[in-house]
Protein backbone atom coordinates (compact mmCIF):
# COMPACT_ATOMS: atom_id res chain seq x y z
CA UNK A 1 0.00 0.00 0.00
CA UNK A 2 2.08 2.91 -1.29
CA UNK A 3 1.56 6.46 -0.08
CA UNK A 4 2.68 9.83 -1.45
CA UNK A 5 2.55 11.82 1.79
CA UNK A 6 4.68 10.46 4.63
CA UNK A 7 3.78 13.04 7.28
CA UNK A 8 0.07 13.32 7.99
CA UNK A 9 -1.53 16.31 9.67
CA UNK A 10 -2.26 15.69 13.34
CA UNK A 11 -4.91 18.37 13.85
CA UNK A 12 -7.98 19.46 11.93
CA UNK A 13 -6.37 22.91 11.50
CA UNK A 14 -3.42 21.24 9.72
CA UNK A 15 -5.88 19.32 7.50
CA UNK A 16 -7.58 22.63 6.62
CA UNK A 17 -4.23 23.90 5.32
CA UNK A 18 -3.60 20.76 3.22
CA UNK A 19 -7.10 20.44 1.72
CA UNK A 20 -9.32 22.93 -0.05
CA UNK A 21 -12.67 23.68 1.69
CA UNK A 22 -14.69 21.15 -0.37
CA UNK A 23 -12.10 18.40 0.12
CA UNK A 24 -12.03 19.16 3.86
CA UNK A 25 -15.83 18.97 4.12
CA UNK A 26 -15.90 15.55 2.47
CA UNK A 27 -12.70 13.93 3.77
CA UNK A 28 -12.65 15.30 7.33
CA UNK A 29 -16.34 16.01 8.02
CA UNK A 30 -17.90 13.05 6.15
CA UNK A 31 -19.68 15.29 3.68
CA UNK A 32 -21.01 14.22 0.29
CA UNK A 33 -20.61 15.98 -3.02
CA UNK A 34 -23.79 16.39 -5.08
CA UNK A 35 -24.64 13.48 -7.39
CA UNK A 36 -23.22 13.75 -10.93
CA UNK A 37 -20.96 16.69 -9.93
CA UNK A 38 -17.66 14.86 -9.33
CA UNK A 39 -14.81 14.85 -11.82
CA UNK A 40 -14.51 11.02 -11.82
CA UNK A 41 -18.16 9.98 -12.27
CA UNK A 42 -17.70 9.13 -15.97
CA UNK A 43 -13.91 8.76 -16.16
CA UNK A 44 -12.69 5.63 -17.90
CA UNK A 45 -8.96 6.45 -17.87
CA UNK A 46 -6.57 3.76 -16.68
CA UNK A 47 -4.50 4.26 -13.58
CA UNK A 48 -4.65 4.16 -9.80
CA UNK A 49 -7.12 6.06 -7.66
CA UNK A 50 -5.43 7.39 -4.53
CA UNK A 51 -6.72 9.04 -1.38
CA UNK A 52 -6.78 12.80 -1.94
CA UNK A 53 -5.83 13.34 1.69
CA UNK A 54 -2.70 11.21 1.94
CA UNK A 55 -1.96 9.64 -1.45
CA UNK A 56 -2.57 6.02 -0.40
CA UNK A 57 -3.44 3.72 -3.29
CA UNK A 58 -7.10 2.72 -2.93
CA UNK A 59 -8.66 1.51 -6.19
CA UNK A 60 -7.10 0.28 -9.44
CA UNK A 61 -9.05 1.71 -12.38
CA UNK A 62 -10.03 -1.79 -13.53
CA UNK A 63 -12.29 -2.07 -10.45
CA UNK A 64 -14.32 1.01 -11.50
CA UNK A 65 -17.72 0.45 -13.10
CA UNK A 66 -20.74 2.52 -14.12
CA UNK A 67 -23.50 2.03 -11.56
CA UNK A 68 -25.51 5.08 -12.71
CA UNK A 69 -25.66 6.29 -9.09
CA UNK A 70 -24.00 9.69 -9.64
CA UNK A 71 -20.69 8.91 -7.91
CA UNK A 72 -17.65 6.87 -8.95
CA UNK A 73 -18.23 3.20 -8.15
CA UNK A 74 -15.67 0.47 -7.55
CA UNK A 75 -16.31 -3.20 -6.87
CA UNK A 76 -13.19 -3.70 -4.74
CA UNK A 77 -10.43 -1.81 -2.96
CA UNK A 78 -6.79 -2.74 -2.55
CA UNK A 79 -6.69 -5.13 0.45
CA UNK A 80 -6.17 -3.19 3.67
CA UNK A 81 -6.51 0.26 2.03
CA UNK A 82 -10.09 0.93 3.13
CA UNK A 83 -11.80 0.38 6.46
CA UNK A 84 -15.52 -0.08 6.96
CA UNK A 85 -17.44 1.60 9.81
CA UNK A 86 -21.12 1.34 10.69
CA UNK A 87 -22.86 4.66 9.91
CA UNK A 88 -26.21 5.36 11.60
CA UNK A 89 -26.53 8.97 10.42
CA UNK A 90 -29.53 10.37 8.55
CA UNK A 91 -31.94 7.87 10.11
CA UNK A 92 -30.51 4.82 8.33
CA UNK A 93 -27.85 2.18 8.81
CA UNK A 94 -25.10 2.10 6.17
CA UNK A 95 -21.45 1.14 5.99
CA UNK A 96 -19.08 4.09 5.67
CA UNK A 97 -15.72 3.60 3.99
CA UNK A 98 -12.62 5.48 5.13
CA UNK A 99 -8.99 5.53 4.07
CA UNK A 100 -7.20 3.12 6.41
CA UNK A 101 -4.12 5.37 6.40
CA UNK A 102 -5.46 8.88 7.14
CA UNK A 103 -9.06 8.10 8.18
CA UNK A 104 -10.44 10.30 5.38
CA UNK A 105 -14.11 9.75 4.50
CA UNK A 106 -14.46 8.18 1.06
CA UNK A 107 -18.16 7.33 0.85
CA UNK A 108 -20.19 4.18 1.53
CA UNK A 109 -20.11 0.54 0.49
CA UNK A 110 -23.22 -1.36 -0.57
CA UNK A 111 -23.44 -5.13 -0.94
CA UNK A 112 -25.94 -7.37 -2.65
CA UNK A 113 -27.00 -5.05 -5.48
CA UNK A 114 -25.85 -7.39 -8.26
CA UNK A 115 -23.91 -4.83 -10.34
CA UNK A 116 -20.74 -6.95 -10.54
CA UNK A 117 -19.72 -10.55 -9.86
CA UNK A 118 -18.25 -9.36 -6.53
CA UNK A 119 -21.70 -7.96 -5.68
CA UNK A 120 -20.15 -4.92 -4.00
CA UNK A 121 -20.29 -1.20 -4.80
CA UNK A 122 -17.90 1.25 -3.19
CA UNK A 123 -19.71 4.56 -3.80
CA UNK A 124 -16.91 7.14 -3.54
CA UNK A 125 -16.84 10.93 -3.63
CA UNK A 126 -14.60 12.29 -6.39
CA UNK A 127 -13.38 14.86 -3.85
CA UNK A 128 -11.94 11.98 -1.77
CA UNK A 129 -9.78 10.52 -4.52
CA UNK A 130 -7.31 11.52 -7.21
CA UNK A 131 -6.53 9.51 -10.35
CA UNK A 132 -2.86 8.81 -10.97
CA UNK A 133 -3.02 8.04 -14.73
CA UNK A 134 -1.23 5.00 -16.10
Give the contacts of 18 (CB within 8 A, at least 6 positions apart). 9, 53
The answer to whether 54 is a known catalytic residue is: no
| Residue from 35, 6, 24 nearest 101 by CA | 6
| Residue from 131, 132, 129, 133 nearest 19 by CA | 129
Q: What angle do CA 16, 97, 82 make, to 5 degrees?
A: 95
CB 110 within 8 A of CB 121: yes
Strand partners, 2: none
| Residue from 127, 121, 98, 104 nearest 39 by CA | 127
Catalytic residue among 54, 99, 102, 123: 123
Residues noted as catalytic = 123
Amino acid sequence: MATEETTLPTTEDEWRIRLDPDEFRVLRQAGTEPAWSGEYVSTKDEGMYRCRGCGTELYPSDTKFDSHCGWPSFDDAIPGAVKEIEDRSHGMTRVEIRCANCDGHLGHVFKGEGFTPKNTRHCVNSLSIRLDPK
